[in-house]
Every structure is written in structure tokens, then in C-alpha cells.
A = this chain, B = another copy of it.
Amino acid sequence: MTSVIPAGYERLLLEPNFGHLGTVRPDNSVQVNPMWFEYDGEFIRFTHTSRRAKFRNLQLNPSMSLSVVDPQDPETYLEVRGRLVEAVPDPTGAFYVRLGRRYGNAGQQPPPDSAVRVVLVMSVEKTTHM
């Protein structure tokens, strides 16, 4: 499989950078928030809950776009476009804990809302970069 991530930019997804995730609201306005994420070379995964706006947005419009800037050189960025391919229940918060540790919280505990936690799985379809 050939990655659509341009050469030299995969590191922006592999390092624990904050991404800014865009989704489309039911009224066709846009929502953007910073998010933790993990990239396995094929999909990008986020922790979220089934009770929040982004989850509802994605039920109506699965489009997702993630913008990541190089913290060492903010003129360098990668935008990844894709869509929600799956929302996997994470009722123990295990994925939340893994992401928390990835982002430097060595003692990360499961969140109070673990019961409704989900892993949002995003496909990687197109990119833009600079």
C-alpha cells in the first residue's frame, strides 16, 4: 500500500503533536477543536464520547480533516482529509489512557466518562502540506 502522506511529513503524525480536527455540524457550519490522536500508518484514531457534538456531527456527515503544524517550524504543516470509518466502543477508557500516556501523562487514569468513550477511526484519503 502506498501512503498518501507526502515524504517527510509522516513524522508530524507519529510524534505526539496536537491536531486540529474539523467536522461539519448539522446546520452545515464547521467545528474545529484540538485533539489527541494516534496514527498506525493507515488510520488516525481519536478518543471521544458518543454523547458529544463531534460524534453527532459525524453521524450525519462523516467528513473529517486534521491539521497538524510542526511545533519546531510553524510554517510546515500537514492537512489530512478523510472520513469516519468506524466508532469503536472503549468502555474501560483504555484507548484514552494510551493516548494520555502518548501525550506525556505517565500516570494517566481512565476518564470519568469511560462508559460512553469511543475510538473514532479516520481514513487517510487526501493531504495538503507546506
| Interface positions of A (Cβ within 8 A of B) | 18, 20-24, 28-34, 61, 63-67, 69, 71, 74, 77, 79, 81, 83, 128
Which B residues are CB-close (under 8 A) to A67?
20, 32-34
Cα distance A18–B32 in the bound complex, in angstroms? 14
Cα distance A83–B30 in the bound complex, in angstroms? 10
Q: In the complex, are the beta carbons of B63 and A33 less than 8 A apart?
A: no
Cα distance A18–B34 in the bound complex, in angstroms? 12
Nearest B residue to A74, CB-CB = B18
- The answer to whether residues A30 and B77 also contact, given A20-B20, A22-B22, A24-B24 and a CB cut-off of 8 A, is no
Copies, count = 2
Partner of A32, one of B28, B32, B61: B32
A63 to chain B, nearest CB (A): 4
Q: In the complex, are the beta carbons of A22 and B28 less than 8 A apart?
A: no
Q: In the complex, are the beta carbons of A30 and B20 less than 8 A apart?
A: no
Which B residues are CB-close (under 8 A) to A71?
71
- Please give me the 3 A-B residue pairs with the lowest Cβ-Cβ distance, nearest first: A20-B20, A29-B63, A22-B22
A67 to chain B, nearest CB (A): 4
Nearest B residue to A16, CB-CB = B74
Nearest B residue to A29, CB-CB = B63
